Structure 1
Amino acid sequence: MKYSNHISSASSRRAPRKQHLAVACCMALALPMAASAQQAASSADPSVETLDAVKVTGIRAAIASAVETKNESTSIVEAISAEDIGKLPDISIADSISRLPGLTMQRVDGRAQVIHIRGMSEQFAGTLLNGREQVTTGDNRGVEFDQYPAELVSGVTVYKTPDASLVGQGLSGTVNMQTVRPLDFSERRIVFSGQGESNSLGDLTAGGDDKGYRVSASYIDQFANDTVGLAIGVARMNSPFQEKHYKSWWWANTDMWGTPQDGKPADAIALQGAEGWVKSRDMTRDGVMAVLEFKPSDTWHSVLDAYHSKFDQGEWMRGVMWTNDPWWNGGAADYSNVGTTDYHGTPVVTSGTLSGIQPLVRNDDNRRESKLDSFGWNNEFKLGAWTLGADASYSRAEIEESKLEAYAGMLGGVTTDFRIPLSPGYAHYALPDMSDPNAVYLSDPQSYGREARLEDSRQKDELKAFRLSVNRAVESSDFLRSWDAGFNYSKRTKSKSADVYFGLLRNDREPTLVDPSLLLAPTDLGFAGMGRVLTFNPRALLSRYYDVALNEDNNDLQKDAITEEQIKTFYFKANLDMDITDAVRLRGNAGVQYIRTEQTSQGVYFDPTGMHIGSAGASYGDILPSLNLVLDFGNGWNVRYGMAKELMRPRINDMGAYASVGLSDGSTGPRVWSGSGGNPSLEPYRANAIDLSIEKYFGVASYVALAGFYKNLDSYVYTRNIPWDFSGYDYTGAAPPSNLGEFSTPANGTGGYMRGVEVSTALGGDLINPALDGFGLLVNASYTESSIDPDGPDQGSSTDTFPGLSKIVANATVYYEKHGFSARVSQRYRDKYRGEYSSLFGQRVYRYTLSERTVDLQLGYDFPESSRLSGLSLLLQVNNVNNEPFRTEVSSGTHPDLFFPEEYTEYGRQYLLGFRYKL
């Protein structure tokens, strides 16, 4: 690995004149003064010229490559690089990306899945594979990164500032994943790897497993005098995930609504329902990557790449839940022996006895199969000063889900003693034995109107794109080195459909005991004091005990939708490079994009005459100028400035042509239209952004940086009541005097600012003292704040925050690598935030997620070349060493400024032990 400081011949003669800036950055990052002193000595030593010949391997090679990418880029970027083919430094790509400055991940079902950049949720980020926009297996735009095996990705670059040639960019940033290019290698490379995996929580319920494995193989070779290159990689993951979950439903003092609860002290807040469950998930992912590269001459370069992954997930959930609010079952639940705790001046029920509740025992069997395909063919032709490019790509995701839940419970009310903490943790409910096969019946204890529910859904996301580009080198200019121009066309179609079925017990829905031969070992909920619950496979019972029939309400029917976008992007970019003085070099780019968008959506709408299929859309254009400048002061000092207008297209769910509309009955005045639904005319989030970064590079793989950014979102999407023309909707009864009314829908409105500061460093221990050679440190931290209320100006709660915004995000990694041994300990921290999650029946909800601090550990050994085992590496990884729980909180229904514990879930530790062998 070679490293270059990108110092021009003029700049290399210049002594440092900005040492006060170095001190400021170093103080901000608490770097030892010894590092600065040693760097100063190196600058004065003529031997610094030998830096380009320094060769590093392993962890330091990956860091050096990432630092080099950051240094050489004209944009403000962050990067990660694999130590070698198939050797990214974390269990998943999402884990690796989330350690970069200003980035973090959101845990979904215990694993890193989506990425938040600079305090914005995954919906605001663009994601590319080899420079091409990707579809998603999620239900909106946010890409689920666990779909991409880390073993098949060679590196990732995150663009925090865009340039005009970056197509598919996001508003918060753009993530570009790269696969290998076989002609970048000088020889054949064959790699095998395998790991066994285990979860510390063990096997929590029947059907799941706590053991798994990961295997991969990669082949890279060159042919025909290095004019043809081939790379093929395959990876399979069979990964177990376990979950212990408790959730309090909602808190309120129902006395304030005129509905007291028997036995509850007057004006005390009480929990109105709870649930506890365990989940076991088995996830199997198969990934295949192939690259064919052809470069017969300096004139023509062609690359054909393909990627495929298939992700199968089986999930088994067993638990118990109930409501005890005063409206359920005529106020059947009551309290006795109540204990209260003063909570910010308000009494809250935290212990006692609850009688008359009817806990529902749930057995769920959820299955998901997702397929992702991505193909691209890039051709580049060099004709003198001209370089012509043509790129065609296709990306497709297909998802099928089946979610089945079946209910059981005791006949009549039960009594339980309880203790409820007011800090995050498991509550304790001394329920009776809910696993007794002679007392727990298939039934509808919570009066849902069914004894089972099945939802089968399908989703397809397809993107076709084609790009033409031209680059012209300019030899005659002192400042313009080249210019780029291009056109990109993309067509994206995303369709969703769902069928909902109710399972009703036969024999007039009479409660029924389960045949003992169909029962599985009871599931233990002792972590929440709930004892054991009846356990069975609901799919095995479905045809035996239930009549199953399609049963869909309006919300279910409105899940069926098709959204299409046709995007035409024209761009021009001037690439700048000049010497301002003998000591200062300026490089960068200035350009503009023009984006023309045509969007349509088809969906289900309801008017007073019934259900209909409708479609609508919009067309609009955006001009996006951008500027990126880098002042290179020599000796590794860079100052970067970025300025751009940015956009992110709206959430696909918000663009749906679904609606429910109606007319007032006219009893109090003229008949007036009103309604709610999606908005096919919705336009993007738009922002004006400014970025500034001050960076100092030293050593082979070390740097320090201080960066700040400001984004003014002049267009944000809120759900609002807006004037609407209801022409075309049918009605019954008397005609309304006007077709105008109000429609509640996502709509564009004014936004506010997002701003933040980021500090980061990569530091080799040898810069401090030769005795620390082999040690290294990676540290970054960011602070971000926003003035945007996502409910709209002067609307909603003052505690609502921008989705995904953690004000403080920090990462630290300490590593050691020498004599074949390697060790790495990483800690990731994010402050509390408002996360977006899938909820009941596939709906998306925001939840107040508390801070997280997770620790990961990796130990490895590479056998030396002199050994008979040369090429073999051993690796131990432990993910979530501290078993950090997932925690949320919820405000009280009667005291919105008081927050109470909501969810508390443990996922356990993941242990992986394995090998990697390179030929």
Structure 2
Amino acid sequence: MIKKQFNPFLAMLSSLTLLAGSQMVYAQQDAVVADELLEEVVVKGFRVSVASSVEEKRDADTIVEAISADELGILPDTSIGDALARLPGVTLLRAGGQAGKINIRGLTGDFVQTTLNGREQTATSGSRQVEFDQYPSDLISGAKVYKSPKASLIEGGVAGTVEMQTASPLDNAEAHKFNVNLRGSYNDRADEAVGADDYGYRFSAAYQGKFADDTIGVALGYSRMTAPYVNTQFAGFAYTNSWDVNNDGQDNSVSEGFEMQQRGGEEIRDGYAATIQWEPSENFTLKGDVFYTTFDSEAFARGFRVKTLANGELTNLAIQPNGAITGATITPWSDNDYFAVQTTNDDESRYRESISGGINAEWRDGPWTVALDISRSEADQTFTNSVTWSMPFEDMSAATLMPERDLSVSYLLHGQNVPDISYSNASDYTNLNKMGLAKVGVYPYENTDVLDAFKADIQYDISDSSLFSSFEFGVRYSERTYSADRSVFEYGHDFGLNSSATPDQPALALTDNTASVVNFASEFANFPSFLMVDAMAVLAEHGITPTPIKNWNNNWTLIQSGEVYEDVLAGYIQANINTELMGKTLTGNVGVRIVETDQSSSGLQQLQGAELGSGPDIVDGNGVVSNDYLPVVRGKKFTDYLPSINLNYHLTENDYLRFGAAKVMGRVPLQKLKSGGGSWASDGKFNMWGNTSPFLDPFYATQYDLSYEHYFDDTSGNVFAALFYKDIESFIEDSTIYNYPFADNGILVPTDPTTGEAFANGEYQTAVNNDKGGYIRGIELGYNQAFDFLPGALSGLGFTGSYSYTESEVENIISSGAVGWDATLPGLAPNVFTGTLFYDYEGFSTRLSVNYRDAFVNEEVMAENPQNVYYAEETILNYQASYSFDSGLSVNFQISNLTDEPSLTYFGESAQTGNVNYYGRQIFAGVNYSF
């Protein structure tokens, strides 16, 4: 939740008059684009955005890709993430069907820097990765992706820097502009998930106005989205077990299990943006702006979980050539209680809140320009991960409950298709006399990320130099605090057993008031039926209130909580080039950015032997005191020098050859910098776990870019080809270090009570900078053109598209049971293609867009555990159409994911199924009015 320190910005929200969206006017309106030859070309519809984006790329002093306000304003995307996915070298990672995170040039969001109005953004993800579905496209006037950095750009983008902008109302051509948009939405798979919403809507309103002889500008914007969340899913778990199952001399890999679930709910996003701009003279501008969004995702997940296949007898085997088992009949061993078939009724709701704002003042006096900026960005996330497991018992009315053991499960995977699943006792899972609520767990994740920053930039223009056009200097200081808070509530036992830890927590009976039968549908119709259980109502019937707390029995709740602090002081100098070389114009910049970082983290280090009283008394949520934990603050300081050069050689008026070279850095994911650690003692040795470290170094890379661009002189458009090469020094990985010198690294080693001396050094499960760096290289091709030269109605045609190929020598060996698999660099999809065929003629506008990407490796979380998987190749089609009337009214129609493309994953080989997710088509229809 947004905390009290947000109040100044909430006050700004109510007093500043706001940002935004009338620049997002659905433009079936005319626009005038002037090219370099001062030839005026009148264009309409989507081609407005193509022309604007081409001109921004042409005028840029680095290698960039751009999206114009017009492109976002005409049938706007659900979020800015959808729009960014159309740019060369950018791939999209769908989360819940939404455009949440992006990869750039084969690198994940951990390597992407994101700014809004030039200000670094905090993230709601619990990491540094910005979730772009948090940003309504209605409130964003434009975006750029910087692929080659410059010294004046905030550091942190090894893959690239995404720069989003909101409206500057004094730049608007009209004195007053108002825009209203309303459209309804429908998901065509909503009826497959019981309780899921079918319909939603989007509404946005925006105003821009100029007052006091155009010296004061005001922009206001509001956007609301309610959307059905629908997902029918099969999810396979990682192949972590191995043995010779059929005694043929070859070890086999066996999956942990799998889930089949119906997921549904509703997503509600509200966005507010405001800008007030004052320009009393041509020498001074004062601008204040604020951007605020909330995203509330109410989501359930219901179905089956088949768990720990290795604890059963496997027969009727389907075995792949690599030894992986992709089909079997599993029967529990008589002496093993840890194979289970459970029904799940989980709550995976998230609430995200983000606010970003600041005040910017700019003075211009002769050759001098001075700009000062003060800002704050804060992001909060609460993820309520509630899991409930019901399972069959022999007789729920018995005095002593015994889990049903007379059962078997048969499954057969079909690669990237829905598998076959059957149970020997399928009727038990809808029988109230058999089914009991065995386990309820509530595991909240709460994160807060706050960034305060100040920067000053000075530019001095030179009129009499044959080499430089200007010099820029600047300084930026920022303070960032990231906090993570964990807690837990648990009732019962995973496998329905009354263990010694929970003897008074037996399975709870279900009734007609708390459970009802649900069936799978469509491609998943062969799956067995199950009971939809209201677990909170069951607990309430027994007087149980689920209240998550921190407690020593689950000491990870305290160890994984903590704060990360990051203070950064950066300065830069940059010379902007404007000269001639061999009779042709050469522009660009050269500079260096110097960055001093002070990073640290506070947390708890677990000691050993509480009877020694070596730590202070700390009370948990149950009131239990422990002195086996030591509060620590650990960290490091370091300084980086980041030189860069960008050159643009004007071969002709329409042909450019660009070159860029730079040393770049990307900061460590925030959650990996935590200093807390658990411990254990064995054989006289002290050992620690945590897989985080405040001593990690950033990602570093040296990169080179070369681009050729040709701009058409008879129509708006261009064609380009770009080569890039990045040499990354190292990556971060979890590692176990044996005989680790704890004391030498500032970690207290407690006393062994049996010897009276310090424990010997044992193993340290931590995160490290590895030595597995290497190159990433590739090529990008692009073509954009409106075919104005065609006769008559054919002149409305146009195309914009790009292709990129990326490769890397970086490989990871993923351990997967008996056999590992070679994995590419996470986030790297070798082949990516985006294309849009559009048609704008008179009042009619339509376009068909395609986004294709190859398979790539990334991490996903299944059953609370991260696992590395391949995301299968994917082709997404989107269709949009509209008609505009002279009155300013337009009607529009849109289909997202036209072919209902599923999201698919697998483990190394496509036969080893990971996830099969169907999100359905989203259909929109509505009206827009602009005046």
Measure the CA separation in 2 of the matches of 1:311 and 1:710: 37
* Residues 649-668 of structure 1: pairs in structure 2 closer than 5 A: 649-666=667-684
Give the corresponding residue for 2:929. 917
Give the corresponding residue for 1:368. 350
Structure 1 range deviating more: 602-611 or 812-821: 602-611
Shift of 1:605: 2.1
Measure the CA separation in 2 of the matches of 1:349 and 1:625: 52
1:775 aligns with 2:814: no
1:765 aligns with 2:787: yes
| Pair 1:720–1:515, CA change in 2 (3 A) | closer
Shift of 1:658: 1.7
Select which of 748, 752, 757 maps to 1:732: 752
Measure the CA separation in 1 of the matches of 2:324 and 2:363: 75
Give the corresponding residue for 2:850. 827
| Pair 1:273–1:347, CA change in 2 (3 A) | closer
1:343 aligns with 2:346: no
Measure the CA separation in 2 of the matches of 1:662 and 1:512: 35
The 8 Å contact of residues 236 and 284 in structure 1, kept in 2 or not, is answered as yes
Shift of 1:738: 8.3
What letter is aligned with 1:725? F
What letter is aligned with 1:199? N
1:592 aligns with 2:607: no
1:219 aligns with 2:207: yes
What letter is aligned with 1:731? T
| Pair 1:679–1:355, CA change in 2 (3 A) | closer
* Residues 546-565 of structure 1: pairs in structure 2 closer than 5 A: 547=544, 548=546, 550=549, 553-565=554-566
Give the corresponding residue for 2:123. 136
What letter is aligned with 2:782? S
The 8 Å contact of residues 254 and 260 in structure 1, kept in 2 or not, is answered as no
Shift of 1:414: 5.3
TM-score by length of 2: 0.85
Measure the CA separation in 2 of the matches of 1:710 and 1:764: 31
Measure the CA separation in 2 of the matches of 1:395 and 1:537: 38
| Pair 1:386–1:535, CA change in 2 (3 A) | same
The 8 Å contact of residues 673 and 739 in structure 1, kept in 2 or not, is answered as no
What letter is aligned with 1:905? N
Measure the CA separation in 2 of the matches of 1:106 and 1:278: 21
| Pair 1:707–1:84, CA change in 2 (3 A) | closer
Measure the CA separation in 2 of the matches of 1:696 and 1:353: 63
Shift of 1:321: 1.2
Tell me the SS of whatever aligns to 2:281: coil
| Pair 1:440–1:64, CA change in 2 (3 A) | farther
1:318-337 deviation line (CA, Å, top 9, x unaligned): 1111136343xxx4x554xx
1:122-143 deviation line (CA, Å, top 9, x unaligned): 1100000011100000011000
Flag structure 1 segments of 5+ consecutive residues without an equivalent: 7-48, 445-450, 892-896
1:813 aligns with 2:826: no
Give the corresponding residue for 2:435. 441
Shift of 1:719: 3.0
Give the corresponding residue for 1:787. 809
Measure the CA separation in 2 of the matches of 1:912 and 1:729: 62
Measure the CA separation in 2 of the matches of 1:858 and 1:877: 4
Measure the CA separation in 1 of the matches of 2:172 and 2:466: 35
| Pair 1:528–1:440, CA change in 2 (3 A) | farther
The 8 Å contact of residues 434 and 531 in structure 1, kept in 2 or not, is answered as no
The 8 Å contact of residues 79 and 134 in structure 2, kept in 1 or not, is answered as no
Measure the CA separation in 1 of the matches of 2:371 and 2:214: 22
Give the corresponding residue for 1:390. 372
Give the corresponding residue for 1:906. 918
The 8 Å contact of residues 785 and 799 in structure 2, kept in 1 or not, is answered as yes
1:695 aligns with 2:709: yes
The 8 Å contact of residues 278 and 525 in structure 1, kept in 2 or not, is answered as no
* Residues 82-481 of structure 1: pairs in structure 2 closer than 5 A: 82-83=69-70, 86-87=73-74, 89-187=76-174, 188-251=176-239, 255-256=243-244, 273-323=257-307, 325-327=309-311, 331=312, 333=313, 335=315, 338=316, 341=318, 343-344=320-321, 348=325, 350=327, 358-411=340-393, 412-413=404-405, 415=407, 418-431=410-423, 432-433=426-427, 436-444=430-438, 451-481=439-469
Measure the CA separation in 2 of the matches of 1:508 and 1:741: 38
The 8 Å contact of residues 514 and 535 in structure 2, kept in 1 or not, is answered as no
Percent identity over the alignment? 30
| Pair 1:513–1:149, CA change in 2 (3 A) | same
1:890 aligns with 2:907: yes
Measure the CA separation in 1 of the matches of 2:926 and 2:428: 41
The 8 Å contact of residues 500 and 556 in structure 1, kept in 2 or not, is answered as yes
1:536 aligns with 2:551: no
Give the corresponding residue for 1:22. none
Measure the CA separation in 2 of the matches of 1:611 and 1:769: 79
Shift of 1:489: 0.5
What letter is aligned with 2:138? E
1:99-147 deviation line (CA, Å, top 9, x unaligned): 1000011011121100100000011000000111000000110000011
1:14-37 deviation line (CA, Å, top 9, x unaligned): xxxxxxxxxxxxxxxxxxxxxxxx
| Pair 1:317–1:716, CA change in 2 (3 A) | closer
Structure 1 range deviating more: 201-210 or 521-530: 521-530
What letter is aligned with 2:733? Y
Structure 1 range deviating more: 552-561 or 395-404: 552-561
| Pair 1:740–1:254, CA change in 2 (3 A) | closer
Measure the CA separation in 1 of the matches of 2:325 and 2:699: 42
The 8 Å contact of residues 404 and 538 in structure 1, kept in 2 or not, is answered as no
| Pair 1:736–1:884, CA change in 2 (3 A) | farther
| Pair 1:376–1:254, CA change in 2 (3 A) | closer
Select which of 508, 514, 525 maps to 1:518: 514
Shift of 1:299: 1.0
| Pair 1:761–1:226, CA change in 2 (3 A) | same
Select which of 705, 720, 734 maps to 1:705: 720
Measure the CA separation in 2 of the matches of 1:703 and 1:790: 38
Structure 1 range deviating more: 202-211 or 54-63: 202-211
CA RMSD of aligned residues (A): 2.8
Give the corresponding residue for 1:877. 894
| Pair 1:272–1:468, CA change in 2 (3 A) | closer
1:525-570 deviation line (CA, Å, top 9, x unaligned): 6715223211132223332236457565233332202001001110
Measure the CA separation in 1 of the matches of 2:492 and 2:255: 31
TM-score by length of 1: 0.87
Give the corresponding residue for 1:853. 875
What letter is aligned with 2:321? H
1:481-500 deviation line (CA, Å, top 9, x unaligned): 11110100111101010110
Measure the CA separation in 2 of the matches of 1:415 and 1:738: 49
| Pair 1:85–1:707, CA change in 2 (3 A) | closer
Structure 1 range deviating more: 812-821 or 88-97: 88-97
1:74-109 deviation line (CA, Å, top 9, x unaligned): 100001112278446423211110110000110111
Shift of 1:799: 1.1
| Pair 1:423–1:662, CA change in 2 (3 A) | closer
| Pair 1:413–1:358, CA change in 2 (3 A) | farther
Shift of 1:523: 4.5
The 8 Å contact of residues 111 and 156 in structure 2, kept in 1 or not, is answered as no
Give the corresponding residue for 1:42. none
Measure the CA separation in 1 of the matches of 2:253 and 2:152: 57
| Pair 1:169–1:682, CA change in 2 (3 A) | closer
The 8 Å contact of residues 588 and 630 in structure 1, kept in 2 or not, is answered as yes
What letter is aligned with 2:914? E
1:454-499 deviation line (CA, Å, top 9, x unaligned): 1233211100000111110111211211111010011110101011
Measure the CA separation in 1 of the matches of 2:249 and 2:910: 19
Shift of 1:656: 0.8
The 8 Å contact of residues 604 and 611 in structure 1, kept in 2 or not, is answered as yes
Give the corresponding residue for 1:33. none
Give the corresponding residue for 1:640. 658
Measure the CA separation in 1 of the matches of 2:434 and 2:748: 53
Shift of 1:701: 2.6
Measure the CA separation in 1 of the matches of 2:891 and 2:102: 29
What letter is aligned with 2:559? Q
The 8 Å contact of residues 783 and 808 in structure 1, kept in 2 or not, is answered as yes
Measure the CA separation in 2 of the matches of 1:394 and 1:463: 6
What letter is aligned with 2:536? R
Give the corresponding residue for 1:39. none
Shift of 1:205: 3.7
Tell me the SS of whatever aligns to 1:604: strand
Shift of 1:155: 0.8
1:507-533 deviation line (CA, Å, top 9, x unaligned): 944433322123345243671522321
1:611 aligns with 2:612: no
Give the corresponding residue for 1:484. 472
